[in-house]
Amino acid sequence: MALHYPFPTYFILLLVTITRLIYTVGKTEQWKAPILTELDIDNISHKLHDDPEIIQMASRDYGHIVHEFPLAVFRPSSIDDIATLIKSSYNSFAPFGIAARGQGHSTHGQAMARDGVVVDMANLRKQRNGVAISVSKDPLMGHYADVGGEQLWIDVLHTTLKHGLAPVSWTDYLYLTVGGTLSNAGISGQSFRYGPQISNVHEMDVITGKGEFVTCSSQKNLELFHAVLGGLGQFGVIARARIALEPAPKRVKWVRLLYSDFFAFTKDQERLISINGRKQKNALDFLEGMLLMNQGPINNWRSSFFPLSDHPRISSLITEHSILYCLEVAKYYDEQTEINVDKEIQVLLQGLAYIPGFYYEKNVSYVEFLNRVRSGELKLQSQGLWDVPHPWLNLFIPKSQILDFNSRVFKDIVLKRNISSGPVLVYPTNRNK
């Protein structure tokens, strides 16, 4: 019997991971010396820095591919400082480009401003004069967190957990700013069920390209609200976001299954995301997928999940098939639901066409699961492999083209030309999310 899924599906292909694009606002003309006088009048020129070391920092990002040098780096101590800077450029006879830099985790220079000004959002976080992280409850919208755009998601997690709450949609890597990921959508393995991060925002305060401070939501300044969310920073700097919260689970049942057949792999992925109701208790909370190839070590930061004793078996299987496809799923639970989680996982995964004997699971804390990339980051840093070029690519592939993509790109290019030793992720999401 054919399976019919209620919503059109797109596959998210990440060569090799979710990255963040950082906002660029203002005008692109070159900054000329007279602007210094105007900034001095606005009492913010002392927050501009042109030390060689600071300029070097602002001229590179996580991609280590593009290098653009600003004339200065602006270190604000308040949101008003940023508004004043942008307004000064907008009203100037010699306007200059402005780029807001959070963690510098862009990969192709999106956080840079050649001959302009880079705003160091990390300084705002240190000053704590902007909005930090506060948890509240509304009779209609429920619990939410008001979060400064400069804040890190890892800090949002720890703060909201103190209230027994958490956001429902995350990126794989948590040491990114809230404003950065909301400018780029914020997509990960929870998106099929809960939508990307931008689908879980009630309201924002935005500094526009004119330097105006505007509050927007689905009920107020709607056009700006939807333009800024996922707008790659082209419509303003996010000063504050009101993020939806739900009760936080305590633990996670984390499962990986290996496939040698790509059709079976994607078919099973689509079947699992079709059980996607946000309130459905029997649905998965997380689903991703990845490629395993001999280009990379079996014990890299994503595949260290597998027990060492099974590495020879997995390596032999990769040699036999050239590529294995790993389906990764997770279901959250707490003390009340712990007794049923194993049975629910068994029911959800029943009938899947993975290779018999290649089923792996872990039980970990909720924080450990969400922050799983951090340990890999620290390991790569110790090996000098973190601050290296990252020519990464993220693509949306229509469901109708994903099988061709596997044969023409994964097999004929990535595999045959041996062009990638990093992680390659591929997983579906529902278009209605």
Positions marked catalytic = 105, 172, 288
Nearest to 63 by CA among 20, 2, 126, 113: 20
How does DSSP classify residue 46?
G
CA distances from 377 to 103, 174, 290, 311 (A): 14, 11, 18, 22
Whole-angstrom distance, CA of residue 133 vs CA of residue 162: 12
DSSP sequence for 123-182: HHHHHT-S--EEEEEETTTEEEEEEETTSBHHHHHHHHHTTTEE-S---S--SSBHHHHH
Which amino acid is located at 82 in the chain?
Answer: I
In DSSP terms, 13 is beta-bridged to 395, 426
CA distances from 162 to 134, 135, 165 (A): 11, 10, 7
Whole-angstrom distance, CA of residue 147 vs CA of residue 239: 8
How many other C-beta atoms can be found within 10 angstroms of the C-beta atom of residue 411? Answer: 14
> Please, which residues have CB within 8 angstroms of residue 222's CB and are 6 or more apart in sequence?
216
CA 278 to chain centre: 20
Whole-angstrom distance, CA of residue 325 vs CA of residue 371: 23
How does DSSP classify residue 298?
T
